[in-house]
Copies of this chain bind each other. A is one copy, B any other.
Amino acid sequence: MIGRLNHVAIAVPDIQAATAVYREQLGAAVSEAVEQPDHGVTTVFVELPNTKIELLEPLGEDSPIANYLAKNPVGGIHHICYEVPDIRAARDTLVAAGARVLGDGEPKIGAHGKPVLFLHPKDFCGTLTELEEA
């Protein structure tokens, strides 16, 4: 079912400082910061040859990463995202196997403009797992 690792998302308290770590210390290609008010985050993409790292800073009130950063004030890996060819078929297979999908179970349009779902961390090795329709 799952295909490529689309991205690893790292929540950070200061996206400019995090961008400098990746660009200047680790020597990676990084995008400009983009505010995504619909998703409650500001994003920077670190472009690697085979995948990308998504740096996330909270934006506005009720950011979905605010709780994570309250518990992990220096930041940390927030989730990983796998590509699937058909997100509703993936969801139906997982739910039939007993896995929990977060929210109302309907795919939402994610930060990349594609349908996404999040799976319950406790059902997936303690890892918040996003599925994105490729």
Interface residues of A (CB under 8 A from B): 1-5, 8, 10, 12, 18, 21, 24-28, 48-51, 53, 55, 72, 74-77, 80, 82, 93-94, 97, 99, 121-127
A12/B49 contact (C-beta < 8 A), A25-B99, A26-B82, A94-B25 known: no
Take A75-B126, A125-B18, A126-B74 as given contacts and tell me if A97 and B24 are in contact as well, using a CB distance cutoff of 8 Å: yes
Residues of B within 8 A of A80 (CB): 8, 53, 77
Tell me which of B3, B21, B93 contacts A49 (CB under 8 A): B3
Give the residues in chain B near A2, CB-CB below 8 Å. Answer: 26-28, 48
Contact of A125 among B4, B55, B122 (CB under 8 A): B55
| Cα-based distance from A18 to B74 in the complex (angstroms) | 28
* One of B4, B28, B72, B75 near A50 (C-beta < 8 A): B4
Residues in B neighbouring A74, C-beta threshold 8 A: 121-122, 125-126
